[in-house]
Amino acid sequence: MLAAFGAGQACAAEVSVAVAANFTAPMQKIAAAFAQDTGHKAVLSFGATGKFYAQIRNGAPFQVLLAADDTTPARLVQDGLAVSGTRFTYAVGRLVLWSKQAGLVDGKGEVLRHGTFARLAIADPKLAPYGAAAAQTLAKLGLLQSLQARMVQGESIGQAYQFVATGNAALGFLALSQVMSDGKISEGSAWVVPAHLHAPIRQDAVILAAGKDNPAAAALAAYLTGDKAQGIMRAFGYERQAPP
């Protein structure tokens, strides 16, 4: 399916990568390891998956997409804008309700029902898969309508994080990877949302048409499935398979 990497320093190349905002921190570490291990350089751009889709359709010269969902890469293959047979799930994400304030978010998410917070941040459900997962969670809890007036939407999960990190929102639904490092949440308070409350956040990668003949694109795709990259992902709370 995917060509193995390994040509080494002599054939070093550069690959332009569009990366879903939730995957910023792990991808920065993976890109550094990728450069050291293969000699190839990954040039990273971060943003909302939906926005990347529009940019790629309009001719943006990205060569690999690391999406926050599995539908966008599939659509790009169908559109003829990505290489058939190169799409794969590189990670399964987890949703978390997080506050910078210690003690605000309880271990069962009851703050959503009984808390006195003014603003709840989520990513735009139409653009960001983590925003869609947040909306699904609230709907399943029966809280989507009652909390609507208190919601502030970020264009991407990165912007939603900024709302909470800067105190413009007391709490927000974020990607677990944004608040986890080395396998633990370092500050604030959090509720890791049970997986059954939303559809699995399968994050797929695909080589785009512009990267079809780029050896660094194939090398990166292969590298993402390797032990080193997967170890970095696990440290940020990602999984290989969707939880039951």
Asked if the domains 9-92+200-235 and 93-197 are classified in one and the same CATH topology, the answer is yes
Over the stretch 49-104, which tens digit does the pLDDT of each residue have?
A: 999 999 999 999 999 999 999 999 999 999 999 999 999 999 999 999 999 999 99
Over the stretch 25-57, which tens digit does the pLDDT of each residue have?
A: 999 999 999 999 999 999 999 998 999 999 999
- Any idea what the Cα angle at residue 133 is, between residues 129 and 135, rounded to 5°? 115
Q: Which CATH number applies to 9-92+200-235?
A: 3.40.190.10
Token representation of residue 83 = 């290489």
What is the residue-wise DSSP string for 82-114? B-TT--EEEEEE-EEEEESSTTTS-TT-THHHH
Over the stretch 183-208, which tens digit does the pLDDT of each residue have?
A: 899 899 999 999 999 999 999 999 99
Q: Which CATH class is domain 93-197?
A: alpha beta
| Amino acid residing at 167 | G
The domains of the chain are located at 9-92+200-235, 93-197
Burial class (CB in 10 A: 0-12, 13-18, 19+), 24: buried
Size (the chain), residues:
244
